Amino acid sequence: MRKKLATVWLGGCSGCHMSFLDLDERLLEIAQWADVVKSPVVDQKEFPEVDVVLVEGAVVNAEHEEEIVLMRRRSRVLVAFGDCAVTANVPSMRNAWPKEVVLRRSYLEVPGTVEGRVPTEEVAALIDRVRPLHELVKVDFFLPGCPPSADLIYYVLTELLHDRVPVLDEARLKFG
Amino acid sequence: MLGKLDEITARVRQRSQEYRLKLQVCCGAGCLSSGAGELLEELKRAVAAQGLEGEVGVVPTGCMGPCNQGPLVRVSPDDTMYEKVVAGEAAGLVECHCGRGEEVRAKLLFSGGEGPVCERASEHPFFRLQRRVALENCGVINPESLEDYIAAGGYRALYHALTGMSREEVIAEIKQSGLRGRGGAGYPTGLKWETVYKHVSAEKYVICNGDEGDPGAFMDRGILEGDPHRVLEGMAIAAYAVGARKGYLYVRAEYPLAIKRFELAIKNARAQHLLGSQVLGTEFQFEVEIRVGAGAFVCGEETALIASIEGRRGQPQPRPPYPAERGLWGKPTLINNVETFANIVPILIQGGEWYASIGTPKSAGTKAFALAGKINNTGLIEVPMGTTLRQIIFDIGGGVPDGKRFKAAQTGGPSGGCIPEEHLDVPVDFESVVKLGSIMGSGGLIVMDESSSMVDVARFFMEFCMDESCGKCVPCRVGTKQMYDLLHRICEGRGTESDLALLEELAPMVKETSLCGLGMTAPNPLLSTLRYFREEYLALIPRRAEGASVGPSAHQP
Amino acid sequence: MARQYEMIMRHSRNSSGTAEPPRTDTRYKRIAAAMQKHQCRPDALIEILHKVQDAFGYLPMEAVRFVAREMRVPPSRVYGVATFYHFFSLKPKGKHNCVICTGTACHVRGAQAIVNEIQQQLGLRPGQTTADGKLGVQIARCIGCCGLAPAVVLDDQVLAKVKPGEMVETLRARVGGAR
Amino acid sequence: MNEIVSIQLDGNELKVELGRTILDVCREAGVDLPVMCYLEGLSVVGACRLCVVEIEGSPRLFPACTTPVAANQAIRTQTEKLKRYRRMIVELFFAERNHVCAVCVANNACELQDLARRVGMDHVRFPYLFPECGVDASHPHAVLDHNRCILCTRCVRVCDEVEGAHTWDVMGRGHASRVIADFNEPWGSSTTCTSCGKCVQVCPTGALWPKAASMGNLRKEPGKIGELVAKRKLNA
């Protein structure tokens, strides 16, 4: 039976998605097993019910908080995709300071800011601390790496889309 | 030399016989802070003013026990005790009791409470159920007077050991007594002495551990303040037995009075050749130095204590090697706690067999406890091992105040656990307390009533351990921080079931892998409250709405 | 005495650019005397730091440097020891000091309420000192007066069975009285 | 030469010399125990607790690096419990400071990172503590980044025991402990540092790194310290 696959981009650099695209011709192989029903490269507003979702990025703002809960509810297998999703990684480097300090620094104090102001409407409000996915929802599979290699993504997706549990042994498991 | 001790004894006895009555004023730290110092002076003045100088003596003593009734006065030999005597009442008390020979009924000990009041203090359950061995002189003699100590039989045990016993015989006596370390772990004292004795070295050390860091424990403080010579004599006997010539008392900086009195004790003992180059006229030489701690609970751990005496950060070392083999300056070192040393003299005087006859077969002798928390009679007590917690808390301690219900007794401080009502009839000894998920510890006993949250208690102790973790080993340094954060979250009502699961996963790991006793026991308060009061944890965890995320906490620490 | 002077003088001459303690400061003489008593043995470091804190009320860096140099103990080791033990403070304490005991007995009898009240009424958290340096608030891990819980040590005097409101009043009076 | 006794190591009978540690014996027998604080040539502190093993007949766990072998010991090094505990300890390391492999100069040359893969840590279950940590770049040749420090104290020990400078020590205690130079001063202004670079070589993570290095070309040689110490003994 064909599976439904989604990929999501939360607080991250999209590098994991780049690595996903690096699957190149193997993407066609994936397409034989699953429909990519929701992804930054698919025009679909609502998050549908899916079999597998790859979530890139950490939970950084209020929107992410809502989205991740929704995704959890509508996904059979939720994969923390890449270091940001697994450890909060680079986005979390702001966590040692209160978000007000971080915002002031970014929008007002850095050189080159002209008449800076902290945006309030255009972008979602930051939450106090950047958090990895598993602090908010149950994560079924952790796929660390910054980014995980295309080979690794291929391996993990192949297993999951065939209802097998991938195994990250010492050779496959790596942060950074 | 024995003649000199007898001579001093005779002199003191004769002087005290001149007095018809003796007013003993408790000058333990508790009573001093409620005004015992002024009271002492005022009583002396009143006695003089009423012309009773020749027949009524006024003397300070160490801690008498019932600390929250202070300042305390005992009239001897009438055996009458008065509570909460302020300086302004001194003249009236002297006039009434000493002048007219009438008791001041309204001021009798415990008359302010709900329990029984006795004209003879020793008949009150608070005293009647106690058996004072280590605290024998505490609250009886003047702790600042060497002569008083000698008159109470002091330094006879040392003399007896030095002149009439071989080192092996001393150790055999201690072994026979069944005495176990009173600092908490309960290691057999005689065995420890023997190990140090057996290690051949020109230099050896004896250390008295007075770093009583458990919050809620003040037995060692009571002993050091109330009977410093007893500890000093115990140390000297130990030094003779194991072959040491130098001893250290390591004591907390928070105990200035104990430091002062011990310093004085050393000075006076040296002057009388009870310390120094030829102790009591024998070849034995022994010097004692005080080392003052600087606020680190972990220094109660023996290897950390040694590091601290050596002027370093008080971080524990892996054992082996044990201090008995390689301790202070790398030399064989005997470390015993204050209360342990305080038990040595009576064992030598009355014999190991006598001591072993008190208490239970595996935990011989008596144990001092500091009662505090939600209990009527707070204070310092000493009971035979095997006394039940119920007797200690309800008969001696007078139960829980304000009509509240008893909930749990906490023993062993941050290393111990909470024992609930259903186990109150278990006889207290080293093994039984461990079976209940706590430890005997050094003797702090805190009573909690129904208004105390046990999760809060667990968090309180975890915060303590986190703050006091030396930072050397990872499980303790980070584990206590993680456990504290998780407990805090639960206390604040922000916890989840997976937080609880994490706690239960972390606690055994920290317990089993930490380097020293602090980390190994840090999870105890958490584990014991989880064992007996799990429903209190669950009650604090918000119930999740149907279908919500199943992951860990949606909240920040 | 002469030897102590010499020690201080030598120390001044060997100056390596760091601030020197005033040669006439008797507190330094006392510390130098204490070091001499222990023959500058490194194991006496904690004893000497106690002396420094007795003399100054805290551990001024200048004095800490003096001790390290005279005792020939590596600077990082001295600093490591000074910060390991909570009894030592590298910051000046208040003129008046209020130490709230938060031991177990005090905790179950309401020590936290005292801490909270002081924080709310006087704006002082444990470890803080008022801007004018008049009042410092600290917490202690059991002062061993469990029978008097909750207990507070105000300027070395133990106060028993303290009530939060009264404590704040006492503190206000103490600080006000010092003006 | 000490007495030879027999022990059991993970079920295999072995003849070993008394006086050696379990870690020694394990290494010789090819049993690879994880360590962080241990480094050949430096004093043994038994602080990381990664090398704990089970000894039959005792309910306790024993750090292999400090525990001497004894006759007839039956040692187990790879039980499920030990594996679980080791992973937890590694997780505690990662949660304690701010380890971001992606931007670390020691990425792919880090003992902690390697350890994480060895113990199968695919994520950290404990809340990250995110402490505020400074970076000291005042030294001309090297940087100290507290975000990546695991307080193994190899730098402290090598500086004191091998170089003899004792520039480094640890200040504070518990989770507030920090490695410091001199009186908690910028490393570059240290009056005791000889700039020998040994601390950088022994640091297992990217906490101490040479300014000349960039990600991908960092190579540390902690093993040299053991060789150095051995050579000195030879010459002594």
Same domain, B200 and B338: yes
Output the six-digit token pair for A7. 């990929």
What is the number of structural domains in chain B?
4
Which of B355-369, B538-552, C34-48, C164-178 is the least confident region?
B538-552
- Hey, is A107 helix, strand or coil? helix
* Cβ contact D120–A170 (<8 Å): yes
Helices B228-242 and B167-177: crossing angle, nearest 10°? 120
**How far apart are alpha carbons A54 and A45 in whole angstroms?**
17
Contact status, residue A59 vs residue A136, Cβ threshold 8 Å = yes
User: Is B50 in a helix, a strand, or coil?
Assistant: coil
Number of domains in chain C: 2
The dihedrals phi and psi of B486, each to the nearest 5 degrees, come to -65, -40
d(CA D169, CA D183): 9
Asked if D39 and D91 sit in the same domain, the reply is no
Q: Is residue A114 predicted with pLDDT exceeding 80? A: no
CA distance C78 to chain D (A): 8
| Residues B164 and B121 occupy one common structural domain | no
Q: From CA C140, how far away is CA D134, in angstroms rounded?
A: 29
Domain limits at A11? 3-93+126-161
Whether residue D131 lies within 8 A of chain A, CB to CB, comes out as: yes
Whether chain B has a CB inside 8 Å of the CB on D63: the answer is: yes
**Residues B28 and B110 placed together within one structural domain of the fold:** yes
Ramachandran region of residue B398, left (φ > 0), alpha (ψ -120 to 50) or beta? left
Chain C nearest CA to D137, separation (Å):
18
Which CATH number fits the domain that encloses residue D214?
3.30.70.20
CATH classification at residue C129: 3.40.30.10
Indicate whether B401 and B480 sit together in one domain: no
The rounded distance, in Å, linking the Cα atoms of B519 and B237 is 33
Considering the domain architecture, whether residues D109 and D89 belong to the same structural domain is answered as yes
CA of B466 vs chain A CAs: smallest distance (Å): 20
**Which chain D residues are within 8 Å of C64, Cβ to Cβ?**
183
Whether residue D69 lies inside any domain: the answer is: yes
Residue B545, domain member (yes or no): no
Residue C35 in any domain: the answer is yes
Measured N-to-C along each axis, helices B474-491 and D80-96 cross at an angle, to the nearest 10 degrees, of 70
Does the distance separating the beta carbons of B550 and A134 come in below 8 Å? no
Chains C and A touch (3+ CB pairs under 8 A): no
The answer to whether B28 and B227 have CB atoms below 8 angstroms apart is: no
Q: Which of D78, D95, D122 is the last residue of a domain?
A: D78
Mean of pLDDT over chain D: 96
Considering the domain boundaries, does residue B486 fall inside one? yes
In a domain, B548, yes or no: no
Q: Lowest-confidence range among C155-159, D12-16, D126-130?
A: C155-159
User: Which among D31, D59, D78 is the end of a domain?
Assistant: D78
Q: What is the CATH number of the domain that holds A130?
A: 3.40.50.700
Contact assignment for D171 to C61 by CB distance below 8 Å? no
- Together in a domain, B66 and B102: yes
Residue B64: how many CB atoms within 10 A of its CB?
A: 30
Q: Flag whether B175 is in a domain.
A: yes
C18 shares a domain with C73 = yes
B379/B261 same-domain check: no
Domain that holds residue D27: 4-78
Question: What radius of gyration do chain C's Cα atoms show?
Answer: 19
B82: part of which helix (H) or strand (E)?
A: strand B80-82
The whole domain housing C30 covers: 2-84
Q: Mark out the alpha helices in B73-132 (DSSP H runs).
A: 90-93, 125-128
Contact in structure between B337 and B345 (CB atoms under 8 Å): no
**How many domains are there within chain D?**
2
Residues D91 and D189 in one domain: yes
Q: Is the Cβ pair B313, D173 closer than 8 Å? A: yes
Distance from CA of B294 to the nearest CA of D (A): 13
Min Cα–Cα distance to chain B from C84, Å: 6
For residue A1, name the pLDDT band (cuts at 50, 70, 90).
Answer: confident
Q: Are residues B475 and B511 in the same domain?
A: yes
- Contact in structure between B223 and B338 (CB atoms under 8 Å): yes
Per-residue pLDDT of A52-97, as tens digits, reads 999 999 999 999 999 999 999 999 999 999 999 999 999 999 999 9
- Report the pLDDT value the prediction gives residue B276, as an integer from 0 to 100: 96
B63 within some domain = yes
For position B544, what pLDDT does the model report?
A: 64
Give the nearest partner residue to D171 out of C64, C68, C83, using CB atoms.
Answer: C83
Q: Find the CATH number of the domain harbouring B292.
A: 3.40.50.11540
- The pLDDT of residue C10 is 45
- Set of chain A residues whose Cβ sits within 8 Å of the Cβ of D104: 176
Stretch D205-225: mean pLDDT: 94
- Residue D56 shares a structural domain with residue D90: no
List the single best residue of B466, B474, B496, B520 to mutate versus D (max D Cβ within 10 A): B474
Confidence of residue C22 (pLDDT cuts 50, 70, 90): low
CB B90 within 8 A of CB B75: no
User: In whole angstroms, what is the distance from residue D104 CA to residue A93 CA?
Assistant: 12
Give the model's pLDDT for residue B2: 84
C100 domain residue, yes or no: yes
Report the residue from D103, D124, D131 with minimal CB separation from A87: D124
User: Cα–chain-centroid distance for residue C128?
Assistant: 13
Q: What angle do CA C151, C89, C152 make, to 5 degrees?
A: 5
Q: According to the model, what pLDDT value does residue C21 have? A: 60
Residue C89 in domain? no
Is D125 among the domain residues? yes
Q: How far does Cα B340 stand from its chain's mean position?
A: 10
Q: Is the pLDDT of residue C16 over 70?
A: no
Give yes or no: residues B63 and B186 share one domain.
Answer: no
Please check whether residue C133 lies inside any domain of the structure: yes
Amino acid letter for position B114: E
The DSSP code for D188 is: G
Residue B180 within a domain: yes
For residues B314 and B307, is the Cβ–Cβ distance under 8 A? yes
- B460 and B430 within one domain: no
pLDDT score, position B389: 96
CB atoms B474 and D170 under 8 Å: no
List CB contacts (< 8 A) between D166 and chain C.
74, 76-77
Q: Total domain count for chain A?
A: 1
**Which residues of chain B carry a pLDDT beneath 50?**
545-557
Count chain A–chain D contacts defined by CB atoms under 8 A: 69
Confidence of residue C11 (pLDDT cuts 50, 70, 90): very low
Instruction: Say yes or no: C75 and C135 in one domain.
Output: no
Asked whether residue B9 is assigned to any structural domain, the reply reads: no
Tell me, what's the pLDDT at A113?
77
Is residue B371 classed as helix, strand or coil in its secondary structure?
Answer: strand
Q: Residue B115 belongs to a domain with what CATH number?
A: 3.40.30.10
Answer with the one of B425, B452, B479 that is the final residue of a domain: B452
Query: Is residue B404 classed exposed, middle or buried when 0-12, 13-18 and 19+ CB atoms within 10 A define those classes?
Result: middle
Domain-terminating residue out of B423, B452, B481: B452
What range does the domain containing B386 cover? 366-452
Distance of CA D78 to the CA centre of its chain: 20
Residues of D (131-190) whose Cβ lies below 8 Å from B: 150-151, 170, 172-177
Q: So what's the pLDDT on residue C23? A: 63
Together in a domain, B69 and B117: yes
A43: pLDDT confidence band, cut at 50, 70 and 90? confident
Query: A89–D132: do the CB atoms touch at under 8 Å?
Result: no
Q: What is the pLDDT of residue D40?
A: 96
Claim to verify: residue B392 and residue B418 sit in the same structural domain: yes
Residue D94, chain A, CB below 8 Å: the answer is yes
> Per the domain annotation, does B216 fall within a domain?
yes
Out of D102, D107, D132, name the one closest to residue A96 (CB).
Answer: D132
Integer Cα distance of D204 and D93 in angstroms = 12
Residue D121 lies in a domain: yes
Contacts of D124 by beta carbon, 8 Å cutoff, 6+ apart: A87, A132, D91, D94, D95
Q: Which residues of A touch B552 (CB under 8 A)?
A: 134-136
Same structural domain for residues B336 and B373? Answer: no
Q: Phi/psi at A167 (nearest 5 deg)? A: -120, 125
The CA-atom distances, in angstroms, between D73 and each of B145, B321, B393, D44, D69 are: 55, 18, 46, 22, 7
Q: Are B18 and B52 in contact (CB under 8 A)?
A: no
DSSP letter string over D93-130?
A: HHHHTT--GGG-TTTTS-HHHHHHHHTT--S--SPP--
Give the integer Cα–Cα distance in Å for B156 and B2: 8
pLDDT at C19 over 70: no
Hey, are the CB atoms on D101 and A86 less than 8 Å from each other? no
Asked, for residue D233, whether it belongs to a domain, the answer is no
D34 pLDDT more than 80: yes
Check CB contact of D67 with chain B, cutoff 8 Å: yes
| Whole-number pLDDT of residue A117 | 86
Chain D: partners with 3+ C-beta pairs within 8 Å? A, B, C
Which residues 6+ apart lie within 8 Å of D58 measured at CB? none
- Give pTM, 2 decimals: 0.93
Cβ separation of D184 and C64 shorter than 8 Å?
A: no
| Three-state DSSP state, B383 | strand
The helix (H) or strand (E) run that includes residue C11 is helix C2-13
- CB contact, 8 Å: B307 with chain D? no
DSSP state of B95: I
Q: A122 CB contacts (<8 Å, ≥6 apart)?
A: none
Same domain, C77 and C103: no
The reply to whether C80 and C107 lie within a common domain is no
Examine the fold and report which residue of D50, D78, D106 is the final residue of a domain before the chain moves on: D78
